Structure 1
Amino acid sequence: MKRSVITAGVAVLVGLGTTVSVALPAQAATGFKFDHRISGADRFATAVAASQLLYPEDDTASDIVIVNGYATVDGLTASYLAGLKTAPILYTDTNAVPAATAAEIARLGASDVWIVGGTNRVSQAQEDAWKAAGKTVHRLAGADRYETSALVAEADDSGDAPEQVFIASGLSTADALAAGPVAWARNYPILLTDPNSVPAATADALKELGTTNRVVLGSSTSVSDAVYTQVAGTQRLGGTNRQETATKIADDVIANDNFDPQSVALVGGTDATAADALAAAPVAGSYGVSLVFTGFDGSLGDSTKAYLVAKKGNYVLPGTGWIFGGTPSVPQATADAATAAVQ
């Protein structure tokens, strides 16, 4: 069951079974730190750590979503699918399931496995092995990332149109990742587009979904004004870089989707750390926590620092400063800089 997040006027941190409400003070509370790090030895283990937080009890998940851990572009929109199924996102390699992932699948006891990506990303042998183990396997895979995103967006068979649809660049992956938590929590599909033209699969999916509230993610460099017009965009959330775009998405989900203004999650801002951001989506979505990105060099970055300083009055206990990924992705010095920014 999904967790509702917050009500207007008060901050409500929603954990797995815990809800706390407090009025927001004018200044940041002493003691708020970026010290809640979710990480493992590698991207596979980090995804497992996130899954264990989402489902701490054994044999309690009915569904899991599987993405290639080294080709997350196919899974950019998997946060929406995982939200539909209230599922974690776990990573595999092309031809073999890493031991950490296999152990987590066994622990969760899921009956349904949802693969996002073709057999060149998650081999047929892995699919066959899961079927042989008695699991029902569903694969969503198109000829390219755009068709795959369309198939994922159309995965809800309830017949109800989603309240909102995101459109993001299929070439600049960070924008779609920043929307992952709200896509999970609110069941908002994410469709991908070429920066300068709308793929046929994306256009067809927009028609099929029938949703008129269409939010374009990223600046006009990521998704051109012409494409914004072609997809009948109703809002653009975009900044001068991926860090600023993430902060605009964070502001929007707090204002419009009841996300928690008292908490925020820091993730690596490079393409190499995209896997941590995707695996974070189910947990961050469950807790109603928005994601902000570090700079390209691993530092806090000017845009994210400015955002944290501007919002520091909101970050109060029992709010949480989350970090997704180990110190190679988010160095401890960067976490310390984030803590200093909100004091």
Structure 2
Amino acid sequence: MRRSLLAFCTALALVLTPTAVAADGEDAATTTAVPTPSLDQQPAPDQQPAPEAAPVLDDDAPVLEVDQRHGVLAEGDDLFGTPQTVVESGITTLPGPQPGAEVYPRPANGIYQVTGGGFGHGIGMSQYGAHGAGQAGLSHAQILSFYYPGTNLETRSTGTIRIGITIDNDGVTRVAHRPGLVVSSTPGDTTYPLPPGYSQWRVRTTTASAAGCTLQGLDAGGTWRTAWPSGMPQSCPVSFSSPTEGSVDLYLPNGSTRIYRGTLTATFRGTTSLLTVNHLPMQHYLRSVTMAEMPVSFHTEALKAQAVAARSYALRGAGGTAHYDTCDTTACQAYRGMGARNANGTVTWYEHANTTAAVGATNGQVLTYDFGSGVPQLATTMYSSSTGGHTTVGGPGHGYLVAQPDPYDTVANNPRSSWSAQLPVRNLEQRYNIHRVERVQILRRDGHGEWGGRVLDARVEGFTAGGHYTWAYASGGGLQMSNPWPANANGLSSHYFTFDQRGSVERIFGDDRYGTAAQASRAWGTNTNVVYVVNGLDYPDALTAAARAGVYDAPVLLTRSDTIPGATLSALQRLNPARVVVVGGPEAVSTKVTQELRNLTRNRDLTRVGGTNRYATAAAVASYYPAGRARVYLASGEDYPDALAGAALAGHESMPMLLTRQDRLDQATIDQLSRLGAQEVVVLGGSTAVSDAVAEQAAGYSASGTYRRLAGGDRYATMARIAGQFPAGRTPAYVASAQDFPDAIVGAALAGGLHGVPIVLTANDRVRSATAAALTRQSPQAIYLLGGSGVVTDATMELLSPYLR
């Protein structure tokens, strides 16, 4: 069953203009001083379809909890609800930032300067991009294939559709009387002529019963009188239609009159408040939607692509309920009916010849996708005005909603492909109920595009009037709505943005390696799903644990073999994990310690993954990956630097990492290479770490029979090669010593898994040229150095500042 998005509609109406999700071009509505013509007299009519049954929706296909303006909505999102502020009494200074956060102190003038891109959620098709693609010579089929890769363009019977007219929200359905207006119980039932002498008609109920509905007419004296036609059942639903004109005039609560094609039905929904539902052919519905969602001056192929996307989205029943298939706001798709009747007798048309032609030219065309059943089903064709040059992903199971560069979005007349904006601190204070905001931390981005992608999670911090530290969770959309465009000329139009403020270099450190790992785990909230625990004195098990932890965005904590250090114990109590995975055998982590760790989980759930030696343990971890992966990483088990850098990459890509001796493969490693059957083997480090003979032997177990090396002249150059596999320009950067493993191990899980960035290795007392090159390419807003000054000196830390963007 689909969850209704009706609850979002009111909030949207309060803060956003009615069609702001659409490409923000000129208002294409036209006004003419003519009476409402019949269907055959409308501009650019298409062939009138014969009556058809309602379309059959693909109920088994995955449906995203989505909004065509804001995208995928997560539970607890602060976009529509009231943000919850946390006050920590007794704390009167700002605590240290969350490990890995982008940190933005309060500007001196109280206004954050922001640079961003796009308008809307950035999932699926860019409407400006479709226009740019049309200008570049792409057909509408090619445009759709680009923005929804893997989908099929099919033709289906679409029939009629039911639209919930949620802007008619006064609980009464009221229409104008016109010659030819008839009434029936439901669309298609027996119609009854309405008695003369009335200028308006309304249906209302005073009881929570369908039988309590009353049909009333407004007489010449201004009195509403009950006026049921003879023989008509006297209960809801009550439907108005005009066979001669094909449209009905609906009075909205603000007194304006909207013209709708088809039938308007007063629908009982279990209360004394009735709902107005518009039944009409899909093609007629799309005439209005396509014009409302895209400027009529856009390229013809773009308009066709919009028509197909809108048709597919509507047929998915997005935002539908038991009473209607979809609604009329941008929480579903913008739908304004056929036009608005003005007080002076003119009509402002919400249909246009250009969009009507696009709807007609694509009659019945929809996008489908094979969700795994072998039978193509309707795709959820999300779209927004502008992607800012890079799309982002939809939810799991929707492989056609991909993240990819969007070269077409930068079309010349797109005013929001890139933009500058302001975010006043006072707006944040009002939205998040904080007396004085002192800092904003960006905690997580989606990893797709510039600046590390769109903002997902943030933290707004400050103090109460009494001086106590207080903070509130903020989504990227919530920050955007603190000063939204176009309601504010200097506002933000997406959650794809960055603050124009130079970052800082911070340390993540504790009293020792165990304390540093515990401090790094602060990047994760309480009630985590899983925590990986490894021996803090032995690197091989830790290497593969860090790579695997990245798959689950899980922290890595360190322990002694026979006791749990206090810092690790405190971290586990705060994280309160559902499960702990111990990597290593009883010699690395004793049975006594594992029993204590089990008692620190919510579900008393602990898994030990280990083998007879480091190679067998790495193979045991790799056994949890399915066969047929794109690649498997192979690193030396006799030294750690190459595998340190590789752990972040393997974790980020969810690829297995195996360890080997320099001159031979262990049988456990061979067994996993054979089972995995990866497309290729990627060897980390040069031939002195992993010989050519070993690399070639490992490649023999891959599907392609090939391997490639990521290697440089030393550990720093190899690290730079590995870091180069990540997209450039992401933030933050994590820097750790290349001369010891513990801090880099926990940093690899934090970097590759949680933030999708490399682990950058440095010398303890200077910045090597390869380290500088890796940081220059990454151009981070924030740099986090793992470990205290005894590991990497303060002088070296100061040398990192020039690499901040």
- Common fold, TM-score beyond 0.5? yes
Higher relative contact order (CA 8 A, sep 6+): 1
- 2-side partners of 1:341 and 1:110: how far apart? 36
Q: Who is 1:252 aligned against?
A: 725
Matched ranges for 1:1-343 at <5 A: 5-8=446-449, 10-12=450-452, 17-18=457-458, 21=496, 31-33=502-504, 35-53=505-523, 55-56=524-525, 58=526, 60-132=527-599, 135-156=604-625, 159=626, 161-232=628-699, 233-254=706-727, 260-270=729-739, 273-285=740-752, 286-295=754-763, 297-308=764-775, 311=777, 315=779, 319-340=781-802
Q: How many Å apart are 1:13 and its aligned residue?
A: 5.1
Specify the SS of the correspondent of 1:37. strand
What is the alpha-carbon distance in structure 2 between the residues aligned to residue 230 and residue 147 of structure 1?
A: 18
Tell me if the contact between 1:66 and 1:90 (Cα under 8 Å) persists in the aligned partners: yes
Question: Is the 8 Å Cα contact of residues 13 and 288 (structure 1) preserved in structure 2?
Answer: no
What is the CA–CA distance in structure 1 between the aligned matches of 2:535 and 2:787, rounded to whole Å? 17
Deviations 1:203-257 (A, max 9, x none): 1111111212211100111111111111115221001111110000001122xxx
Pair 21,247 (structure 1): closer, same or farther in 2 beyond 3 Å: farther
Deviations 1:10-67 (A, max 9, x none): 23257762566459xxxxx98354x1321111111111111111x13x2x21211110
Residues 302 and 315 (structure 1 numbering): CA distance in 2 closer, same or farther, change over 3 Å?
A: closer
SS in 2 for 1:231: helix
CA distance in 2, matches of 1:14, 1:324: 26
Distance 1:250 1:128, change over 3 A: same
Partner Cα distance (1:21, 1:298) in 2: 37
Q: 2: distance between equivalents of 1:206 and 1:241?
A: 27
8 A contact 1:175–1:218 mirrored in 2: yes
Q: State the alpha-carbon separation in 2 of the partners of residues 298 and 21 from structure 1.
A: 37
Task: State whether residues 547 and 749 of structure 2, in contact with CA within 8 Å, keep that contact through their aligned partners in structure 1.
Answer: no
Q: For residue 143 of structure 1, what is the amino acid of its counterpart?
A: T
The offset of 1:306, in angstroms, is 4.7
Whether contact under 8 Å (2:628, 2:679) holds in the other structure is: no
* Equivalent residue letter for 1:330: V
Q: CA deviation at 1:183?
A: 2.0
Question: C-alpha separation between the residues in 2 aligned to 1:107 and 1:31?
Answer: 32
Report the residue type matching 2:580 in the other structure: V
Q: Distance in 1 between matches of 2:648 and 2:553?
A: 12
CA offsets 1:71-100 (integer angstroms, 9 cap, x no match)? 122221112321333321001001000111
Residue 178 of structure 1: how far off its partner (Å): 0.5
Identify the structure with the greater strand proportion: 2
Partner secondary structure for residue 725 of structure 2: helix
SS in structure 2 of the partner of residue 77 of structure 1: helix
SS in structure 2 at match of 1:198: coil
The answer as to whether partners of 2:733 and 2:775 remain within 8 angstroms in 1 is no
- The answer to whether the 8 A contact 2:502-2:804 is kept is no
Contact 1:79 1:282 (C-alpha < 8 Å) held by counterparts = yes
- For residues 276 and 266 of structure 1, what CA distance do their matches in structure 2 show? 9
Contact between 1:79 and 1:181, CA under 8 Å: does it hold in 2? yes
Unaligned 5+ segments in structure 2 are 1-394, 397-443, 459-475, 477-494, 700-705
Secondary structure of the 2:670 match is helix
The one-letter amino acid of 2:762's match is T
Letter in 2 for 1:31: R
Identity of aligned residues (%): 31
**Contact 2:632–2:678, Cα closer than 8 Å, also in 1:** yes
For normalisation by structure 2, the TM-score amounts to 0.37
Deviation at 1:303, TM superposition (A): 2.9
Cα drift, residue 6 of structure 1: 3.1
Contact 2:629–2:655 at 8 Å: present in 1 too? yes
Q: How many residues align?
A: 319
Deviations 1:120-169 (A, max 9, x none): 1101111123345662111111111000000001124xx45333211000
Q: Which amino acid aligns with 2:795?
A: A
Q: Secondary structure at the match of 2:675?
A: helix
Deviations 1:186-207 (A, max 9, x none): 2111100111111111111111
Q: Evaluate the alpha carbon distance shift between residue 131 and residue 335 of structure 1 in structure 2; reply closer, same or farther with a 3 A threshold.
A: closer
Residues 86 and 290 from structure 1, CA distance in 2 versus in 1: closer, same or farther, beyond 3 angstroms?
closer
Higher fraction of helix = 1
- Tell me the CA shift for residue 289 of structure 1: 1.7
Distance in structure 1 (CA, Å) of the matches to 2:598 and 2:732:
40
C-alpha contact 2:633 2:655 (8 A) present in aligned 1: yes
- What SS class does the counterpart of residue 249 from structure 1 fall into? helix
Measured in 2, the distance between the counterparts of 1:36 and 1:113 equals 29
Q: Partner letter of residue 126 of structure 1?
A: V
Residue-by-residue CA offset, 1:314-337 (whole Å, 9 max, x unaligned): 526xx2222111111221211211
SS for the counterpart of 2:671 is helix
State whether residues 445 and 456 of structure 2, in contact with CA within 8 Å, keep that contact through their aligned partners in structure 1. no
In 1, the alpha carbon distance for the partners of 2:803 and 2:572 equals: 38
Q: RMSD value over aligned CA atoms? A: 2.6
Contact 1:161 1:209 in 2 (8 A): yes
Distance 1:30 1:86, change over 3 A: closer
Alignment-mate amino acid for residue 6 of structure 1: G
Tell me how far apart the structure 2 counterparts of residues 237 and 14 of structure 1 sit (CA, whole Å): 30
1:282 Cα offset (Å): 2.2
Conserved 8 A contact 1:12-1:22: no
